[in-house]
Chain A
């Protein structure tokens, strides 16, 4: 009787969430790499998430951090970088000529392939995807003083994606980036990541702080999305609650949970009434 009584309050998904491969499927291949993209295409995954930012000559390159460093990356001759190489200070051609990434074993993904590859440009990604079904989720990286500014980045991204035939959308890490993207093209599908995670910050501490903000009502991802004009919000699954999902739904804002890797969590969140989820292990998701 109690279980029946309690069952009334649980929101059930109308359709299962979509599944995106985080950093193109980083549990199997180096993150954001051509190998990872080729695997996603071969597996027939519906969507990949990738991180993009601008080079010095205004080209859009795929990389999570605004810098290159060892051991993940090395010079083309295999030697380690003695200090961080900031992407926005170098042209794409120079980066492709002298940087190889993915050639080191990663602790968090010990079974992933180890392949040293050049950075991908967004143009190369588009060419590889071709006219297939793969959807692209672009996470635009903007960091004051370390990347191109939001307006320049938004313009370059929009120009680059103008002729892409598949469904694509872009995430901004802050309300300012979202606003810049919206100014560039109000018809672009734009998402906001919440909470904002400053570069090199302790993400665990920030997520826990965000949990307190949610609990106390001092932080609200739906309100943040409304303010910035975002079409969707990406929220760490650790703090995403069904109340936020319900509030977003009634505001017409899509919701994505990231990054979900455990099998129990994937099984559970595949039943949530959210738009999509991101995982390093999309192959584990029952809703794939």
Chain B
């Protein structure tokens, strides 16, 4: 530790830019509330008192594990309900605010897209977005019915997991 501190100090003294660790494929965070497909917060939550079991099961199914990739800002997410590829980057010069877009699939069949704005603080990520999703499935290969849903994403990750584009 002292060696690395000394090395960093020496490099800083010479005006060198500290090298950030290269992003790799690995665990990034868990989205307790995932933005895709967005059904839970729009459809299930308002009906939770009418029949609690389905919203509860669907809540569990939408919890998403998000994985970082070698491309900074690009993540892959997997839940029972959905799989996704999402890219986000900083905006307005703010490190803690990102804008992003993603593709969502069901059993790897593309069925929708979403865009979002996210706020990052430490291991936490809160996102607001807009999802557009079709009713396509492997049993119904049609993309002729689309819904536009506002989405909310709440994620908790590793403190040092690479998240955003510089």
Q: Does A145 contact B (CB under 8 A)?
A: no
Mark contacts of B55-89 with chain A using CB atoms, 8 A cut-off: 1 yes-contact digit, 0 otherwise.
Answer: 00110010000000000000000001100000000
Query: Which of A233-277 touch B at CB < 8 Å?
Result: 237-239, 241-244, 246-247, 249-251, 262, 264-265, 267-269
Contact A220:B53 (CB < 8 A) given known A10-B43, A215-B61: no
Chain A, interface SS category:
helix
Measured CB to CB, the nearest residue on chain A to B147 is A246
Question: A6-B150, A215-B61, A268-B50 known; A223 and B128 CB under 8 Å?
Answer: no
In the complex, chain A residues 169-211 whose Cβ is within 8 Å of any chain B Cβ: 211
In the assembled complex, the Cα of A264 lies from the Cα of B44 at a distance in Å of 14
Q: Is B38 an interface residue (CB 8 A)?
A: yes
Interface size on B, residues (CB 8 A): 35
Looking at B49, B51, B107, the one whose CB has the most chain A CB atoms below 10 A away is: B51
A162 at the interface (CB under 8 A from B): no
Please pick, from A242, A246, A269, the residue contacting B50 in the complex, using a CB distance under 8 A: A269
Tell whether, in the assembled complex, residue B39 and residue A250 are in contact, meaning their CB atoms are under 8 Å apart. Answer: no
Give the number of chain A interface residues (Cβ < 8 Å). 34
Smallest Cβ-Cβ distance to A237: which chain B residue: B51
> In the bound complex, do residue A218 and residue B137 qualify as a contact, i.e. CB atoms below 8 Å apart?
yes
Q: Does A9 sit within 8 A of B, measured CB to CB?
A: yes
Name the A residues within 8 Å of B145 (CB-CB).
246-247, 249-251
Give the interface centre of A8, A215, A265 by most chain B CB atoms within 10 Å.
A215
Contact, CB under 8 Å: B51 / A242: no
Q: Within the complex, what minimum Cβ distance (angstroms) separates B104 from chain A?
A: 12
**Could you jot down 16 A-B contacts, CB within 8 Å?**
A5-B150, A6-B152, A211-B54, A211-B57, A216-B80, A219-B139, A220-B139, A237-B51, A242-B39, A243-B133, A243-B135, A250-B135, A250-B144, A251-B145, A268-B47, A268-B50
Known: A226-B140, A241-B43. 11 other contacts (CB 8 A): A5-B150, A9-B42, A217-B137, A217-B139, A220-B140, A223-B139, A237-B50, A241-B39, A246-B147, A268-B46, A269-B50
Which residues of B approach A to under 8 Å, CB–CB? 38-39, 41-44, 46-47, 49-51, 53-54, 57-58, 61, 80-81, 106-107, 109, 128, 133, 135, 137-140, 144-145, 147-150, 152
